[in-house]
């Protein structure tokens, strides 16, 4: 059941991210490198979701013995949470800086007049 859900979600998110990526690239809001990077990443995620044995084989090939989808999903969730946190923190910091800058510019005239 978990496997089916993860397949559905991976396919759904991959479709959304890839289509949005292509639209952003067409509208010149995203570079070709980043578009290709996200498409490749999501294609890889979808492939793993549909064929989890690939990960087992890869880990075994690298010399690992303890394999399984649970481990992979756990690592993936931690990675996603970390990335989300970093993006949110960075966006928040940039927002504060932009706001501060906008405020300084807007108040420049009134300060000079004073």
Partner 1 sequence: MASKNIHLAIVIPVYNEGRVIKEVIDTIPKKIKGVNRISVIAVNDGSVDNSAEQIKKTGACLISLPFNLGIGLATSTGMEAGKILGADILVTMDGDGQHDPRDIPKLIAPILLDSYDLAIGARLINRNDMPQVKKFGNWLMDAITYIFSGIWIKDSQSGMKALSKKALNAIEIKTSGYELCSEIIILAKKEKLKITEVPIKTIYSTHSMKKGQSPLNGLNIALKLLYKKIGG
When asked if residue 99 is in the footprint of partner 1 (CB under 8 A), the reply is yes
Task: Provide the residue count of the chain.
Answer: 114
When asked if residue 110 is in the footprint of partner 1 (CB under 8 A), the reply is yes
Q: What is the DSSP string of 45-94?
A: HHHHHH-THHHHHHHHHTT-----HHHHHHHHHHHHHHHHHHHHHHHHHH
Q: How far is the CB of 82 from partner 1 (least distance, A)?
A: 17
When asked if residue 95 is in the footprint of partner 1 (CB under 8 A), the reply is yes
Selected from 1, 61, 62, 106, the binder of partner 1 by CB under 8 A is: 106
When asked if residue 57 is in the footprint of partner 1 (CB under 8 A), the reply is no
């Amino acid at each position: 059941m978990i496997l089916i859900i993860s397949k559905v979600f991976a396919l759904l998110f991959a479709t959304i991210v890839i289509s949005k990526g292509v639209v952003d690239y067409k509208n010149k809001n995203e570079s070709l490198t980043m578009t290709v990077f996200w498409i490749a990443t999501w294609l890889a995620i979808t492939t793993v979701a549909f064929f989890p044995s690939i990960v087992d084989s890869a880990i075994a090939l690298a010399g690992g013995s303890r394999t399984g989808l649970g481990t992979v999903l756990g690592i993936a969730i931690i990675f996603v949470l970390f990335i989300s946190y970093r993006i949110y923190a960075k966006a928040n910091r940039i927002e504060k800086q932009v706001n501060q800058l906008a405020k300084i510019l807007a108040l420049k005239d009134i300060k000079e007049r004073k």
